[in-house]
Amino acid sequence: MSKRLNPSLEAKLIALGQALIDQQAARVIVEPQRREAGCWFGGGNMVQAADGTWYLVGRYR
């Protein structure tokens, strides 16, 4: 048996997802090792510690 989300909640989740992948509003937070095609930092995760400090992990390519 499948369940559907409340339409209002579904719309809010779609808006959040679209905001998270908005390439026009995106900005670099970790510079690549070189500014050229194929060089980037990504594929990571963020976590907030109990003291409010944010930690970011990822990989360079």
pLDDT band at 14 (very low <50, low <70, confident <90, very high): very high
Q: Is residue 17's pLDDT more than 80? A: yes
What is the model's pLDDT at position 12? Answer: 95
> What is the phi/psi pair of residue 48, to 5°?
-105, 125
Cα R_g (the chain), whole angstroms: 17
Mean pLDDT rounded to a whole number for the chain = 89
Q: What is the Cα 22 distance to its own chain's centre?
A: 10
Supply the pTM of this predicted model.
0.44
